[in-house]
């Protein structure tokens, strides 16, 4: 054993306990806890937001490393344990902001890869007036982002004239990874977002040619709803066959 170890002084907390051994607190005074240990209060939202910016891969890669790195698709990239297949997306909608938070937390804890915030349904608070209330959208997104760190997708209804820039600002500010975009508005959002996040086209996709056209216009995927309710699960095979046949056409 190192003979110099005996020269070490007592550990500071041992010395503190020795100093306090004969001290009796005044029972008439309230106890003030100044101990050091694990955090005892929720992390302030501004710290969580700052951490989101610090770990924004796309931003850091572009501004600091000049696009040198490529995002991995699995924690075990380049190994036999690499994740493969399609991502699992859990879609949530609520009557209140608190419901969105509760449902998003449940999906995140269940292990979905992406949590979609459906802010497009007519009954949700962001769309009850028939138009998209971007202030209400931001309230929901901020509340969910504070407690959920799973990548988020946001689904908005069709936006009115003049709302494009504000919507893009909200999506970028909260580092949304996927935007579920109304199909007719793809031509607006694709250049405005400039590849900052992936787009999923929703609305009016009921055939392989519809899907092919949406992807041609810049979507990364399509969302199928009405056709699924009309035809059932078989709609996916039909659209896939039509899409593959359409893709072979000039």
Per-residue pLDDT tens digits of the chain, which is 250 residues long? 677 777 777 777 788 888 888 888 888 988 777 666 666 777 788 887 777 777 777 778 888 888 888 777 666 677 776 767 778 899 999 888 999 999 999 999 888 889 999 998 877 767 766 678 888 899 999 999 989 988 999 998 888 778 888 999 999 888 898 999 999 999 999 998 888 889 999 999 999 999 999 999 999 999 998 899 899 989 999 999 999 987 765 4
- What is the pLDDT, as a whole number, of residue 3? 78
Flag whether 114 is in a domain: yes
Flag whether 175 is in a domain: yes
Secondary structure class of 45 (helix, strand, coil): helix
Q: How far apart are CA 34 and CA 25, in angstroms?
A: 14
Secondary structure class of 246 (helix, strand, coil): helix
H helices present in 21-96, as ranges: 45-54, 57-63
- What is the pLDDT, as a whole number, of residue 219? 93
DSSP state of 66: T
Q: Give, in degrees to the nearest 5, the angle at Cα 124 between 120 and 125.
A: 115
Q: How far apart are CA 166 and CA 59, in angstroms?
A: 20
Flag whether 209 is in a domain: no
- What is the pLDDT, as a whole number, of residue 39? 67
Q: Give, in degrees to the nearest 5, the angle at Cα 27 between 22 and 30.
A: 110
CATH number of the domain residue 117 falls in:
3.20.20.70
DSSP state of 228: H
Phi, psi of 137 (to 5 degrees): -60, -50
Buried b (16+ CB within 10 A) or exposed e, 21-41: eeeeeeeeeeeeeeeeeeeee
Flag whether 4 is in a domain: no
Contact 225, 235 (CB under 8 A): no
Flag whether 62 is in a domain: yes
Q: What is the dihedral of CA 115, 238, 197, 56, to 10 degrees?
A: 50
Domain that includes residue 120, residue range:
45-70+87-202
Residue in the block written with tokens 């000049």: 66
Flag whether 248 is in a domain: no
Number of helices and strands (H, E) in the chain? 10, 6
- What is the pLDDT, as a whole number, of residue 213? 93
- Supply the pTM of this predicted model: 0.65
Flag whether 240 is in a domain: no
- What is the pLDDT, as a whole number, of residue 154? 94
Flag whether 20 is in a domain: no
H helices present in 161-225, as ranges: 164-173, 186-193, 208-216
N-term to C-term CA, the chain? 80
User: For residue 126, which of 115, 137, 138 has the smallest C-alpha distance?
Assistant: 137
Domain count, the chain: 1
């Amino acid at each position: 054993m190192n003979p110099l170890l005996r020269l070490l002084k007592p550990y500071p907390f041992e010395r503190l306990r020795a100093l306090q051994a004969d001290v009796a607190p005044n029972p008439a005074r309230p106890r003030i806890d100044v101990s050091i240990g694990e955090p005892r209060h929720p992390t302030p939202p501004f710290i969580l937001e700052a951490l989101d910016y610090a770990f924004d891969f796309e931003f850091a890669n572009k501004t600091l490393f000049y696009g040198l790195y490529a995002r991995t698709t699995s924690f075990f990239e380049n190994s036999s344990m690499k994740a493969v297949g399609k991502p699992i997306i859990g879609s949530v909608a609520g009557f209140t902001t608190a419901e969105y938070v509760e449902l998003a937390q449940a999906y995140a804890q269940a292990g979905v890869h992406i949590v979609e915030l459906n802010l497009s349904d007519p009954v949700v608070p962001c769309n009850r007036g028939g138009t998209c209330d971007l202030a209400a959208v931001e309230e929901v997104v901020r509340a969910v982002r504070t407690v959920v760190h799973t990548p988020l997708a946001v689904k908005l209804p069709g936006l009115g004239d003049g709302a494009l820039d504000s919507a893009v600002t909200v999506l970028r500010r909260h580092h949304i990874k996927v935007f579920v975009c109304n199909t007719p508005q793809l031509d607006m959002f694709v250049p405005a977002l400039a590849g900052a996040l992936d787009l999923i086209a929703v609305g009016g996709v009921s055939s392989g040619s519809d899907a092919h056209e949406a992807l041609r216009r810049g979507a990364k995927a399509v969302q199928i709803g009405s056709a699924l309710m009309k035809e059932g699960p078989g709609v996916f095979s039909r659209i896939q066959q039509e899409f593959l046949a359409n893709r072979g056409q000039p």
